[in-house]
Amino acid sequence: MWTISTHGKKGIPVVNVPTYGTASVSQFSIALLLEICHHIGHHSASVHNGDWAANPDWCYWDYPLIELAGKTIGIIGFGRIGQAEGRIAKAMGMRVLAYDVYPNDSGHAVGEYVDLDTLLAQSDVVSLHCNLTPENTGLINKETIAKMKGGAILLNNARGQLIVEQDVADALNSGKLAAAGLDVVYTEPIRPDNPLLTAKKLHPHAAYFLGSEGEPPTDHGDNRRKYPCVLKRNAAKRRQSLKAARPGAVPLRASVPKTVGIYNPTVLLVIGKSPRFPV
Give the active site residues: 159, 188, 205
Q: Are 81 and 184 in contact (CB under 8 A)?
A: no
Map residue 209 onto helix, strand or coil. Answer: strand
Collapsing DSSP to helix, strand or coil, 25 comes out as helix
Cβ contact 178:124 at 8 Å: no
What is d(CA 83, CA 51) in angstroms, rounded to the nearest whole number? 40
Helix axes 40-48, 22-38, angle to 10 degrees: 50
State which amino acid sits at residue 103.
P
> How far is 38 from 48, CA to CA, in rounded Å?
17
| CB contact burial 177-206 (16+ within 10 A = b; e otherwise) | bbbbbbbbbbeeebeeebbbeebeebeeee
φ/ψ bin of 214: left (φ > 0), alpha (ψ from -120 to 50), beta (otherwise): left
**Residue 232 belongs to what H/E stretch?**
none
